[in-house]
Amino acid sequence: MLKQLFPIQQELPLQGVYLALNLHQQAQQGDVFIYANYIVSLDGRIALFDEVMGEYAVPKSIANGRDWRLYQELAGQADVMLTSARYFRQLAEDKAQDLLPVGSGEKYADIKAWREKQGLKAQPDVMVLSNSLNIPLKALAKVQDRQVIVLTSSQDKSKIETLENAGAQVISVMSSAIETSRDPSTSLRVTGGFVRQSLIDLKYRSAYLIAGPQVHSTLMADSCVDELFLTTHFTLLGGTKVSGLVDVDLPQAQSMKLLSAYLDTQDNQMFQRFSYVG
């Protein structure tokens, strides 16, 4: 059971607490609802540098099955999941935390059934933000059961053609600039506004951001994230090679409004839901 602390006090079962939010129905007509999710230690770390893996990873000391259940419930409400090429490189090397959900097995059968009842695809599509287009085809082969869209500022025709031949849809900032009569000679990059507009153009209604702080910051810079689901694990991790929720300078402080808070005494953590205040 969870103890809901805000906005009202009550006890609720863990299973279904996020699935009841119907995030796939929150977008206004002609818009998309974008939400992010992270698990963080009490001292603000979402990842530590793993010397064996040679990259940043969620520490095993805070990762847990109850948080993962709610991660899956958030995925269950998404039309599309937003991630980075880094995830696909991890997936190709069998270093990824898991294959992009919704997860398989009896534990998540209710989420799959819920998606079917809501008229959603069996699995959310995938949108990848990548300037390098360094996306292994081996990883793409593992998600052939869904549409993969790549947003990029790269003009490497060879890489674009390779990805398209593998079944991915590549949308270039440069081609977008030409179509909208912007000056293509100016420096272009994948911005939060470009991501949001691309989602709208593709008729997506709900998008689940599961990428790291760089992608999170990119969308925040253009006020393109609607809500944040944050699991705070009551553990101090320390360390010097760490990653936080936001690892770049922000143009200004970002205010957040608490929408709900649940205390999970079983796994020593709190589940919080925030909206981004403009």
Does an H or E element contain 90, and which? helix 85-92
pLDDT score for 219: 93
pLDDT score for 180: 45
Other Cβ atoms less than 10 A from the Cβ of 267: the count is: 14
* Model confidence at 204: pLDDT above 80: yes
pLDDT score for 181: 39
Instruction: Report whether 78 contacts 21 (CB < 8 A).
Output: no
At 100, is the pLDDT very low, low, confident or very high (cuts 50, 70, 90)? low
Other Cβ atoms less than 10 A from the Cβ of 241: the count is: 10
Q: Using alpha carbons only, how large is the chain's radius of gyration in Å?
A: 19
Domain 2-268 listed as CATH 3.40.50.970: no
The one-letter amino acid code at 177 reads A
From the list 43, 143, 28, the residue with the least C-alpha distance to 83 is 143
**How, if at all, do strands 2-6 and 10-12 pair?**
antiparallel
- Kindly report the average pLDDT of the chain as a whole number: 89
The model carries a pTM of 0.91
Give 82's strand partners: 127, 209
Residue whose entry in the numeric block shows the structure tokens 């006090």? 9
The CA-to-CA distance between both ends of the chain, in Å, stands at 34
Instruction: Report whether 89 contacts 34 (CB < 8 A).
Output: no
pLDDT score for 135: 87
From the list 59, 33, 65, 35, the residue with the least C-alpha distance to 45 is 59
* Model confidence at 192: pLDDT above 70: yes
For 146-169, what is the mean pLDDT? 92
From the list 55, 65, 128, 125, the residue with the least C-alpha distance to 98 is 65
Instruction: Report whether 174 contacts 155 (CB < 8 A).
Output: yes
pLDDT score for 3: 98
* Model confidence at 63: pLDDT above 90: yes
What does the chain come to in residues? Answer: 278
